[in-house]
Amino acid sequence: MSQGRIFTGEGLLQDTVLDCDVCVVGSGSGGAWLAHELVAQGKSVVMLEEGGHHTRREFDMTEARAYPALYQELGSRTTDDLSVTLLQGRSVGGGTTVNWCSSFRTPKRILERWREQHGVDTLSEAVLGPHWDAIEQRLHIAEWPKEAMNENNKALWDGLGALGYERGLIRRNVHGCANLGYCGMGCPIDAKQSMAVTVLPDAVEKGLQLYANTSARTLTWTGRRITHVNAEVLDPTTNKPTGRVVTVRPKVTCLSGGAINSPGLLLRSGLEAGGRVGRRTWLHPVLISIARFDRPVNAFAGAPQSVYSHHFVERGPGKMGFFLEVPPVHPMLAASISNGSGRFTQALLDQLPQLQVMIALAVDGLLPEETGGTVRVRSGGYSRYSFTYDFTDAHWEAFRFAQKEMAKLQFAAGAREVFTLHADPVRLTSVDQLHLLDEAPWKPLHVRVATAHQMGGCAMGKDPGESVVDPHLRFHAMDNLYVVDGSVLPTSLGVNPQETIFGIARWAAQHVGAAV
């Protein structure tokens, strides 16, 4: 097989029709590993990616360049009511180009739950283990050394130690990392082992044809078969359609556009699976706690995430669990995701180097009353969907509890003040003031919630009346359509999702390949 190529919008000046074994829509965690395995099997693969092909040549570590180029909707994706801010990748490499490198295998209890409650009898630690081994080797996934931990993570580490809570060091997919802290803007030295610098170029060497700036708009189908993937070329600068189209006629089609976008493409194509497509989208909704120290923390520098705690991941029946990590803190994101009056944000940002930030990521999708997020097509929208997310009482109970725990951890590590992200920020100056958090409103739009982990919307499962794809990831009502990305997860995970998606995609490649 001769070497493939990465095409970009600049070079796609004619309408194009392509025949191939498999068309993969999306080049992120799921799509990249899937395509990598398929070309290794000798299949001809065309990959469509609506984002651009961006490399370290452009990764100058500025937020104002990175978010519009590398994130969905210029970094401003949200729920319809703006109650949840969604950070999601959009470029060659998808989320892996901008993510924070934390790598976890899927917890056993989650795989068991999928087996018991969703009929996913195909996945287990034994099945995924060899795939994870290979992935960890290729992406150099290893524990980040404690000595290299930055002050932001160290505050979490110290707080957890002081309170006697469970704590662990995070494994990262990096190779030759210089501990710079700019993973979220694209690694400037290709140390992060994102898909764009690892398995995608590997696959291009083996024949992958990757079309960047090319957005799949609809699938054409007759009976139980997808016949065409209809895509439009986008102008790399304006992000608007150029009028050129790419039409793919594959034997098998795989959607790897990620949660929200894969369901969106199905909905645009009239494939709704009885209204289940786009439903039950999970977010690991994130509550953020800001602390001010009187020493520099410099949370903008150093590997962004190297410490975690699963101490509260299971909180007993009827309660929503959460896990604790820290985010990197840079001025543009910190200011836009903060809350309160403009003056409050000005005063907060004045002290940026002293700020230490913790996040509690709620483990959603495990309680019976939860319905999660719903994706719908928005008339007149191109890259924007309608997306709503239903909070339950359990979310708010967990958030209030998590805010107290984060404040305790921050004070234990030496914080002088702790602020919530309420519209009226609650300010605490010591652990004796935790009761103030009980008086604050815990409701949508009264306190900011964010997410970088979108999952579900095309849930896998045995029963076609309850799920969208089968336990081998084939769309129930089609013979040659698969979904291979975070959208197939029936619930959230309780750990950062990339390695779960890598593993499932690498495993799924054999089934997709066999369907050609």
Partner 1 sequence: MKMYLPPPGGKPSRRGVLKKGLWGGALLTLGGFGALFFRKSVEVPLPPGGLQVLSAREYAVLVVLAQRLLPKRAGAPTVDELGVAATCDSVLAQADATSQKEFKQLLGLFENALANFLLGARPGTFTRMAEDAQEAVLEDWRTSRLSVRRTGFLALRTLVMASYFGNPKAWGAANYPGPPAGVHQPDAPVWRGGDVPRPASSTPLEASQRDAGVAMDAGTSPDVGAGAEPHP
Interaction site with ligand FAD (CB under 6 A): 25-31, 48-51, 87-91, 94-96, 98-102, 184, 215-216, 256-258, 261, 265, 305, 452-453, 485-486, 496-498, 501
Of the two residues 150 and 354, which places its CB atom closer to ligand FAD in the complex?
150
Of the two residues 153 and 209, which places its CB atom closer to ligand SF4 in the complex?
153
* Residue 245 contact, options ligand SF4, ligand FAD, partner 1, none, Cβ 5-8 Å cut-off depending on partner type: none
The packing angle between helices 29-40 and 498-514, to 10°, is 40
Please report how close the Cβ of residue 304 comes to ligand SF4 at its closest, in angstroms: 7
Please report how close the Cβ of residue 170 comes to ligand SF4 at its closest, in angstroms: 12
Q: Give the H/E segment covering residue 322.
A: strand 322-325
* Residue 257 contact, options ligand FAD, ligand SF4, partner 1, none, Cβ 5-8 Å cut-off depending on partner type: ligand FAD
The answer for 14, left when phi > 0, alpha when psi is -120 to 50, beta otherwise, is beta
Please report how close the Cβ of residue 378 comes to ligand SF4 at its closest, in angstroms: 34
Of the two residues 382 and 511, which places its CB atom closer to partner 1 in the complex?
382
Please report how close the Cβ of residue 60 comes to partner 1 at its closest, in angstroms: 4
Three-state SS at 27: coil
Burial class (CB in 10 A: 0-12, 13-18, 19+), 3: exposed
Cα distance between residue 295 and residue 402, in whole Å:
25
The angle formed by the CA atoms of residues 247, 252 and 255, to the nearest 5 degrees, is 75
Residues forming contacts to ligand SF4 in the complex (CB under 6 A) are 101, 174, 177-183, 187, 189, 191-192, 303
Q: What is the 3-state secondary structure (H, E, C) of 216-229?
A: EEEEEEECCEEEEE
Please report how close the Cβ of residue 157 comes to ligand SF4 at its closest, in angstroms: 17
Q: Could you tell me which of 490, 492, 482 has the C-alpha nearest to residue 34? A: 482
Cα distance between residue 248 and residue 21, in whole Å:
10
State phi, psi for 44 to the nearest 5 degrees.
Answer: -90, 125
Cα distance between residue 23 and residue 88, in whole Å:
22
* Residue 265 contact, options ligand FAD, ligand SF4, partner 1, none, Cβ 5-8 Å cut-off depending on partner type: ligand FAD
* CB-based closest residue to ligand FAD: 28
Q: Label residues 284-304 b or e (16+ Cβ within 10 Å = b).
A: bbbbbbbbbbeeebbbbbbbb
Please report how close the Cβ of residue 198 comes to ligand SF4 at its closest, in angstroms: 13
* Residue 290 contact, options ligand FAD, partner 1, ligand SF4, none, Cβ 5-8 Å cut-off depending on partner type: none
CB atoms within 10 A of CB 146: 12
* Residue 239 contact, options partner 1, ligand SF4, ligand FAD, none, Cβ 5-8 Å cut-off depending on partner type: partner 1
Of the two residues 97 and 467, which places its CB atom closer to ligand SF4 in the complex?
97
Please report how close the Cβ of residue 506 comes to partner 1 at its closest, in angstroms: 18
Of the two residues 53 and 404, which places its CB atom closer to partner 1 in the complex?
53
Of the two residues 160 and 216, which places its CB atom closer to ligand FAD in the complex?
216
State phi, psi for 430 to the nearest 5 degrees.
Answer: -160, 170
Please report how close the Cβ of residue 81 comes to ligand FAD at its closest, in angstroms: 21
Of the two residues 170 and 418, which places its CB atom closer to ligand FAD in the complex?
170
Determine the distance from the C-alpha atom of residue 166 to the mean position of all C-alpha atoms in its chain, rounded to a whole number.
Answer: 25
Please report how close the Cβ of residue 392 comes to ligand SF4 at its closest, in angstroms: 35
Please report how close the Cβ of residue 342 comes to partner 1 at its closest, in angstroms: 4
* Residue 16 contact, options ligand SF4, ligand FAD, partner 1, none, Cβ 5-8 Å cut-off depending on partner type: partner 1
* Residue 204 contact, options ligand SF4, ligand FAD, partner 1, none, Cβ 5-8 Å cut-off depending on partner type: partner 1
Cα distance between residue 192 and residue 198, in whole Å:
9
Amino acid making up residue 431? V
Of the two residues 232 and 405, which places its CB atom closer to partner 1 in the complex?
232
Please report how close the Cβ of residue 197 comes to ligand SF4 at its closest, in angstroms: 10
Of the two residues 192 and 404, which places its CB atom closer to ligand SF4 in the complex?
192
Cα distance between residue 345 and residue 425, in whole Å:
10
Output Rg (C-alpha) for the chain, integer angstroms. 22
* Residue 87 contact, options ligand SF4, ligand FAD, partner 1, none, Cβ 5-8 Å cut-off depending on partner type: ligand FAD
Determine the distance from the C-alpha atom of residue 33 to the mean position of all C-alpha atoms in its chain, rounded to a whole number.
Answer: 15
Please check whether residue 279 is in contact with residue 260, taking contact to mean a CB–CB distance below 8 angstroms: no
* Residue 194 contact, options partner 1, ligand FAD, ligand SF4, none, Cβ 5-8 Å cut-off depending on partner type: none
Please report how close the Cβ of residue 450 comes to partner 1 at its closest, in angstroms: 11
Of the two residues 261 and 374, which places its CB atom closer to ligand FAD in the complex?
261
* Residue 303 contact, options partner 1, ligand FAD, ligand SF4, none, Cβ 5-8 Å cut-off depending on partner type: ligand SF4
Amino acid making up residue 279? R
CB atoms within 10 A of CB 486: 34
Per-residue tokens: 403: 């805010």
Please check whether residue 510 is in contact with residue 34, taking contact to mean a CB–CB distance below 8 angstroms: no
* Residue 255 contact, options partner 1, ligand FAD, ligand SF4, none, Cβ 5-8 Å cut-off depending on partner type: none
Of the two residues 187 and 271, which places its CB atom closer to ligand SF4 in the complex?
187
Cα distance between residue 96 and residue 441, in whole Å:
35
Of the two residues 257 and 425, which places its CB atom closer to ligand FAD in the complex?
257
CB atoms within 10 A of CB 390: 14
